[in-house]
């Protein structure tokens, strides 16, 4: 029996009622993307436009964690140690498929840029796994495990370029079928980001207040210091290459700011001061929006718009929720 032939009733039972059904799951208005909302343990749409948007009703609930595809309409989610693939988030009633053969205890999920593959990691086993064919036409393909137990510490940052897994773990490592290779020694790598063309890798080291750039990380792998506390870095926790590859966004939790730094000159273009400490820069869909926090402790979600006018907006939950 395939996922397409399982009845809705049986699917909901098998997936522990992950999907929220009914009128409250329907969406109206523009939806630039979906996010995992930690306080309600649910996937919810952002409804509206930046500056005038809110979190819509849950389309999937009772989740331990979830990561939305860059394509914006599917997600990988965990509940009670199991991994699930959700398709059709934009319908309000997504199809939920358990990912058979997936590593148990997944607690990190990262997608390739094209949204057709992803990597998952389990801190308990210190193993990772690549998932392929994450589209609506076939079941997800599960590849062999990658052993990350020889890294210097537990994984603190993870990125997948579609071929290789890049991990920050007391250093920066590249892992593939050929094994594990260290690219850079760092104290506390908190975030990784790919440059335009997937050739260069940016690394934020929260412990040393530094951002490194590794030129040709899949080849000669030449590291060079990109920015540090002399430029205002303070506990960097998030990175995103934006502006068609022209500049790097850096989220600083120490001084509560987002910096835009031109990559070619390493000069500061703009700084946005925040009234909260950011914890990430996670892309929302294929557009210019990125999530800066998880919405915990009663905070609204905050988004940075890396379009023509760099700005930060807050996204409140619907008043009835």
pLDDT tens for each residue of 201-241: 999 999 999 999 999 999 999 999 999 999 999 999 999 99
13 contacts: CB under 8 Å, gap ≥ 6: none
Overall average pLDDT of the 150-165 stretch: 94
Q: What is the CB neighbour count within 10 angstroms for residue 273?
A: 9
Look at the block and give the residue holding tokens 């809110």: 54
Closest CA to 23 of 48, 58, 55: 58
Give the per-residue pLDDT at 60.
Answer: 97
> Exposed, middle or buried, 17 (CB in 10 Å: 0-12/13-18/19+)?
middle
**C-alpha dist (Å) from residue 284 to 16, 98, 235, 320:** 26, 24, 23, 24
Residue 12 has pLDDT above 50, yes or no: no
List, for residues 274-286, the tens digit of each pLDDT value: 999 999 999 998 8
| DSSP tally for the chain: helices H, then strands E | 1, 27
82 contacts: CB under 8 Å, gap ≥ 6: 98, 102, 104
Vertex 121: Cα angle to 85 and 107 (nearest 5): 70
Overall average pLDDT of the 179-197 stretch: 93
Closest CA to 76 of 22, 125, 130, 32: 130
Residue 169 has pLDDT above 70, yes or no: yes
Overall average pLDDT of the 144-158 stretch: 93
Find the distance separating the first CA and the last CA of the chain, reported in whole Å.
37
Residue 299 has pLDDT above 80, yes or no: yes
Give the per-residue pLDDT at 11.
Answer: 39
296 contacts: CB under 8 Å, gap ≥ 6: 38, 39
8 A C-beta contact, residue 211 and residue 226:
yes
8 A C-beta contact, residue 143 and residue 130:
yes
List, for residues 38-91, the tens digit of each pLDDT value: 999 999 999 998 889 999 999 999 999 999 999 999 999 999 999 999 999 999
* Confidence band of 96 (pLDDT split at 50, 70, 90): very high
Longest C-alpha distance within the chain, in Å? 60
* Confidence band of 28 (pLDDT split at 50, 70, 90): low
Note the Cα 321 to chain centre separation in Å.
Answer: 25
**Beta strand 201-205 with 118-122: parallel, antiparallel or unpaired?**
unpaired
* Confidence band of 4 (pLDDT split at 50, 70, 90): very low
């Amino acid at each position: 029996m395939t996922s397409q032939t399982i009845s809705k009733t049986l699917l909901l039972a098998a997936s522990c009622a992950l999907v929220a059904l009914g009128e409250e799951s329907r969406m109206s208005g523009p939806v630039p993307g979906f996010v995992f909302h930690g306080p309600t343990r649910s996937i919810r749409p952002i409804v509206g436009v930046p500056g005038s948007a809110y979190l819509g009703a849950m389309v999937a609930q009772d989740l331990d964690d979830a990561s939305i595809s860059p394509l914006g309409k599917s997600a990988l989610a965990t509940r009670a140690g199991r991994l699930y693939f959700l398709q059709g988030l934009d319908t309000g009633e997504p199809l939920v498929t358990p990912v058979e053969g997936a590593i148990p205890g997944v607690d990190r999920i990262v997608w390739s840029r094209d949204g057709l593959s992803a990597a998952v990691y389990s801190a308990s086993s210190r193993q990772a796994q690549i998932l392929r064919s994450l589209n609506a036409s076939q079941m997800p393909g599960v590849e062999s495990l990658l052993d990350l137990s020889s890294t210097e510490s537990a994984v603190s940052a993870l990125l997948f370029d579609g071929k290789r897994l890049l991990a920050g773990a007391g250093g920066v490592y590249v892992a593939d079928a050929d094994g594990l290779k260290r690219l850079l020694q760092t104290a506390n790598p908190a975030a990784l980001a790919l440059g335009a063309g997937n050739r260069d890798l940016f690394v934020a080291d929260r412990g040393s207040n530094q951002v490194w750039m590794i030129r040709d990380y899949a080849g000669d792998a030449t590291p060079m210091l990109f920015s540090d506390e002399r430029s205002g870095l303070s506990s960097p926790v998030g990175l995103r290459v934006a502006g068609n590859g022209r500049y790097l966004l850096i989220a600083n939790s120490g001084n509560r700011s987002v910096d835009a730094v031109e990559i070619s000159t390493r000069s500061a273009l703009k700084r946005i001061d925040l009234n909260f400490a950011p914890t990430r820069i996670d892309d929302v869909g294929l557009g210019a929006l990125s999530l800066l926090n998880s919405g915990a402790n009663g905070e609204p979600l905050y988004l940075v718009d890396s379009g023509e006018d760099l700005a930060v907006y807050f996204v409140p939950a619907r008043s009835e929720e």
